[in-house]
Amino acid sequence: METPKGHAINSDYFWTPSGKRPLESSRGLDRRLPSECSVMFLVVCFLAVVLCWGVLGVYRQRQRLKKLSVHFGSPKPHWLLGNLLEFPANDIPGIFETMVDLHVRYGQDLFNWGLLNDHMIIVSSAANVEKVVMAKRTEKSQIYEFIEPWLGRGLLISKGEKWFHRRKIITPTFHFQILESFADVFNREATVLIEKLREHASSGQEFDIYEPISLYALDSICETSMGVEIDAQRNPDNQYVRDVKRMSELILLRIFHVLASFPRTFWYTMPNAWEQRKVIGRLHAFTDSVIHRRRQQLLAGEGNAQETPVDPDDPYGAGRQRQTFLDLLLNVTVDGKPLSDADIREEVDTFMFEGHDTTTSGIAFTFYQLAKHPDIQERLYQEIRDVLGADYRTVPLTYSTLQNFTYLDMVVKESLRLLPPVSFIGRRLVDDIEMNGVTIPAGTDFTIPIYVIHRNPAVYPDPERFDPERFSDDSNQRRGPYDYIPFSVGSRNCIGQRYALMEMKITIIQMLAHYRILPGERMPQVRLKTDLVLRPDQGIPIRLQNRPYGHHFIDTGPGGTTPVPEISGAKARSSSCLMPALEKTLVDDFAKSIHSKGGICGWDSAYVCEVCYRTVAFCQPCSPPTMSTVLFVLAVLVAFGCAQFYRKRRRLQRIAQYFDAVPPHWLLGNVMEYPANDIPGIFETMVDLHVRYGQDLFNWGLLNDHMIIVSSAANVEKVVMAKRTEKSQIYEFIEPWLGRDPERFDPERFSDDSNQRRGPYDYIPFSVGSRNCIGQRYALMEMKVAIVRMVSFYRILPGAAMHEIRLKTDLVLRPDKTIPIRIMARE
Ligand code: HEM
């Protein structure tokens, strides 16, 4: 059939705007055309009105937004695509770089146009950041919806009352006492990481450090939050591990999808969305099963933290079995009701998401910086050795130990400044606010680009430079509270901050204690991408080198250029500078090894251990001393003795001249004055000497032995009334009879008034020194309790065979047979 041309449109062609005739089959309908047409016409009119009304709405909103946008920096938007054309398609790192670059070109606070009137405001000036994060009521912005199917409305996304209650419940999980117990997990998992990396250190080949760190972080978060060991480091093909990683990728793909602004359309149409649904199904099933199993265990009373009575001094139960985040949620009640499995799941999943990707980036990016800055890395290594001492590889790291690492703290802070794992956060206004002289209406989405804020040259001069000194106490850089916010700020800040810092620091210490981190060849090509977490686009290529450990001696003698063999064998490692006995063996071995290598011994060789700073000197093996040497040494000793004798004699003579004295013999003093073997005669002589020489005598004995005998009242008073005196030597002759008597059981020896003098090595039932009895106080307590109880009930009397007791000893002294006693009840 021919199509008539050049006619005015008649009813036949009304429905064929392409100019084609209606189909033959619709001929029948043509007969009903007038009424049908009018309905259709009305529909079209209605649609046209709706369209016009829509267009008008869009236009009016566009005008309103334009008025807002002039108060912010912005590239000129396309009428339909907004600023989308600024961003390179299919180059995710490029998109991130453009986002940053827009701030360089258009200022701190930007108005960013999306499709049609879609928009968001990106603020990085401190004043505006404060207004947004400290606004009384905000919600999370649209981008968080992408993770909602996985995390539900857990702490990260929830709002209002629900968020407030959950935050209150969860906060105690991060009490430092609980964190202290998590330190075990980090130490253990870090040891696995170090082992896993050993092959890379041996080969010296370049590899991606991001991947192993991510498995390490996943193991740590699973164990601390759920109490589950998934062993991802040894078993990276584990389904749960694969699903968690795939979820991160799917979230990223979704954020940069062209349908990003139309989440529902995406959710029901895109193949990635279908895959995401399956992955989420498996992730939820895993968390559900863990929750179910743990709930059953708690109900059955196995490892039930609740069943253990709560110690008021230990309210968080750090001393009890380690309480995981999941336990805390299972034990909590809100309005008398426990949380449902779904409630708990969304919180546990939130922790899994927030708690492993973020710390992975934090740790891996710090290694990236250390590889690029060997001087900073060496200073940090030095700090590790200084703080932890010779056993720096094996000392368990605790929350408290970490407080001693000042430089590490500075390095971590600077790393989180330059490469913050959460590079931006989003908020949606619930109330209108004033900003840049204009009212921003409720419902507006804001982005706070932490990455950009941390590069403000007014706060951080030369912002791209990695310089931990910015965070030293002496730094004069002035930062306001909104200039450094790696963990966000305000009420929605990161609840896991202390956990994250502890995990990061333990991993960095362990890693540096074992390996030197070197940059890989591809290091300059590292590019960044970000979904909710900042990540390297293609991993972080590094190389590792083993660090020496054990005793490592360097020659510091006068001719000290000789290379000294390193002692770092198994023996050296198992030894410790704090254990002198082992150390001696080690040093002897070392000395022998030097002798056998042709002998660089001599008094001029001194060696300093690089690890413990101990100095060792070596000498030639000595030949036996000759006779003349012996005589010479004896002569020197005699001369020394004579000189001492002479000096003392001179001193005594100076004192003696103030008393009366019989002129003494040079060797025998006044001994010759007394008749031998005539005891009464001795006494008479003593009395007679006073008659002949005066009241106060200086009496010389053998050699320099002497005594002063005073009988003048003045001197007698001085002596007997002296504040502190002791009994003289003569009393020692009767001591075995009157006192001391070592076999006598006499508790008075230990009274405060006792004048028995004991040195530190005269009474050592528990030994003495560093290896003394560790259970001393325990033992004393046990003994005293038993004795007090026994004596208060019974009088203890000797048995008939008591005097026959004999002793025997192995490591413990015991009676040979028994200790026979009798007891009598006390009234
Ligand atoms: C270096 C590591 C980490 C960084 C840089 C970091 C950073 C942040 C930031 C910036 C926020 C605010 C997010 C927002 O406002 O949308 C946040 C929130 C949060 N973080 Fe972290 N985080 C880290 C590690 C962790 C860890 C290890 C956990 C858990 C074990 C955790 C749990 C959370 C939770 C639950 C929230 C939501 C808090 C709320 O809204 O009340 N984070 N984190």
**Backbone phi and psi for residue 438, each to the nearest 5 degrees, phi listed first:** -140, 155
Q: Which atom of ligand 1 is nearest to the CA of 532?
A: 16
Report residue 761 as tokens.
């090595």
- Looking at 20-29, 323-332, 480-489, which range is the least confident one? 20-29
Q: Which atom of ligand 1 is nearest to the CA of 163?
A: 41
Report residue 394 as tokens.
């094996």
pLDDT at 579: 31
| Cβ count near 409 (within 10 Å) | 17
Residues with CB under 6 A from ligand 1: 140, 155-156, 167, 350-351, 354-355, 358-359, 362, 420-422, 425, 486-488, 492, 494-496, 499-500
- Looking at 100-114, 426-440, 551-565, 699-713, which range is the least confident one? 551-565
**Backbone phi and psi for residue 212, each to the nearest 5 degrees, phi listed first:** -60, -35
pLDDT band with cut points at 50, 70 and 90 for residue 532: confident
pLDDT at 6: 38
Give the whole-angstrom CA distance, residue 112 versus residue 75: 8
Indicate which residue's Cα is closest to atom 27 of ligand 1.
355
Q: Which atom of ligand 1 is nearest to the CA of 485?
A: 10
- Looking at 269-273, 528-532, 561-565, 700-704, which range is the least confident one? 561-565
Indicate which residue's Cα is closest to atom 9 of ligand 1.
487
- Share above pLDDT 70 across residues of the chain, in percent, rounded to a whole number: 82
Indicate which residue's Cα is closest to atom 18 of ligand 1.
494
Give the whole-angstrom CA distance, residue 630 versus residue 582: 34
- Residues 278, 280, 283, 284, CA torsion sign: negative
At 244, which helix (H) or strand (E)? helix 239-255
Is 189's pLDDT higher than 50?
yes
Give the whole-angstrom CA distance, residue 72 versus residue 68: 8
pLDDT at 621: 41
Give the whole-angstrom CA distance, residue 527 versus residue 534: 10
**Residue among 137, 494, 502 whose CB has most ligand 1 atoms within 8 A, to mutate:** 494
Give the whole-angstrom CA distance, residue 738 versus residue 740: 7
**Residue whose tokens read 């971590």:** 412
Identify the top-confidence range among 370-379, 690-699, 774-783. 370-379
Q: Is 494 annotated as a binding residue?
A: yes
pLDDT at 315: 33
- Looking at 209-218, 309-318, 533-542, 787-796, which range is the least confident one? 309-318
* Average pLDDT for 360-378: 97
Say how many Å lie between the CA of residue 159 and the centre of ligand 1.
15
* Average pLDDT for 591-609: 47
Indicate which residue's Cα is closest to atom 20 of ligand 1.
494
pLDDT band with cut points at 50, 70 and 90 for residue 313: very low
Mark out the alpha helices in 542-626 (DSSP H runs).
570-574, 580-596
Is 13's pLDDT higher than 70?
no
- Looking at 13-27, 211-225, 632-646, which range is the least confident one? 13-27
Indicate which residue's Cα is closest to atom 23 of ligand 1.
358
Note whether 376 and 468 are within 8 A (CB): yes
Close Cβ partners of 757 (under 8 Å, ≥ 6 residues apart): none
DSSP 349-366: HHHHHHHHHHHHHHHHHH
pLDDT at 561: 43
Say how many Å lie between the CA of residue 787 and the centre of ligand 1.
59
At 337, which helix (H) or strand (E)? strand 337-338
Say how many Å lie between the CA of residue 501 and the centre of ligand 1.
12
Close Cβ partners of 455 (under 8 Å, ≥ 6 residues apart): 100, 418, 463, 464
Report residue 566 as tokens.
């390193």
Indicate which residue's Cα is closest to atom 21 of ligand 1.
494
Say how many Å lie between the CA of residue 513 and the centre of ligand 1.
28
Average pLDDT along the chain: 82
User: ipTM more than 0.95?
Assistant: yes
**Residue among 157, 354, 417, 424 whose CB has most ligand 1 atoms within 8 A, to mutate:** 354
Say how many Å lie between the CA of residue 405 and the centre of ligand 1.
23
Is 558's pLDDT higher than 80?
no
Is 653's pLDDT higher than 60?
yes
Q: Which atom of ligand 1 is nearest to the CA of 499?
A: 27
Indicate which residue's Cα is closest to atom 31 of ligand 1.
496
Is 591's pLDDT higher than 60?
no
* Average pLDDT for 756-777: 81
**Residue among 358, 359, 360, 451 whose CB has most ligand 1 atoms within 8 A, to mutate:** 358
- Reduced to 3 states (helix: H, G, I; strand: E, B; else coil), residue 824 is strand
Is 527's pLDDT higher than 80?
yes
DSSP 632-693: HHHHHHHHHHHHHHHHHHHHHHHHHTTSB-PPPBTTTBTGGGSPTT-HHHHHHHHHHHHHHH
Is 306's pLDDT higher than 70?
no
Is 20's pLDDT higher than 50?
no
pLDDT at 735: 59
pLDDT at 9: 36
| Between 596 and 341, residue with greater pLDDT | 341
**Backbone phi and psi for residue 732, each to the nearest 5 degrees, phi listed first:** -60, -25
pLDDT single digits (tens) 799-820 = 888 888 888 777 788 888 889 9
pLDDT band with cut points at 50, 70 and 90 for residue 17: very low
